[in-house]
Amino acid sequence: MGAYGLVRINMELFPHAHSIFSPWLIIIGATQIIYAASTSLGQRNLKKRIAYSSVSHMGFIIIGIGSITDMGLNGALLQIISHGFIGAALFFLARKSSNDL
């Protein structure tokens, strides 16, 4: 919801500010990808690993929003939708597998 709000509010109400801050969004997204992915690798708990992976995927969405191109925005919106379904399914399976043990 936050990434979708960033697209709808930030880009439509403040397009000039978005074009100024888009390089910072790309830097923040890339940093988020690297940090969350490296932190995810060190986790032993499956739910924590999925959570850090989810944070890493949000970095890709932020980079797509920061690109200010149609392809980047379409990719970011597609990633938002797929991330919602896949993240929920992974947490459901992680809970199911921990209950079976």
- Three-state secondary structure of the chain: CHHHHHHHHHHHHCHHHHHHHHHHHHHHHHHHHHHHHHHHHCCCCHHHHHHHHHHHHHHHHHHHHHCCCHHHHHHHHHHHHHHHHHHHHHHHHHHHHHHHC
Q: Is 56 a member of any domain? A: yes
Q: Is 4 a member of any domain? A: no
Q: Is 44 a member of any domain? A: yes
Q: Is 52 a member of any domain? A: yes
Number of compact structural domains in the chain: 1
Residue 72: what pLDDT?
A: 92
Q: Is 10 a member of any domain? A: no
> Domain range holding 55?
22-100
Q: Is 42 a member of any domain? A: yes
| Full-model pTM | 0.84
Q: What is the mean pLDDT of each run of 10 residues along the chain (101 residues)?
A: 79 86 94 95 90 93 92 93 92 77 53
Q: Is 27 a member of any domain? A: yes
Q: Is 31 a member of any domain? A: yes
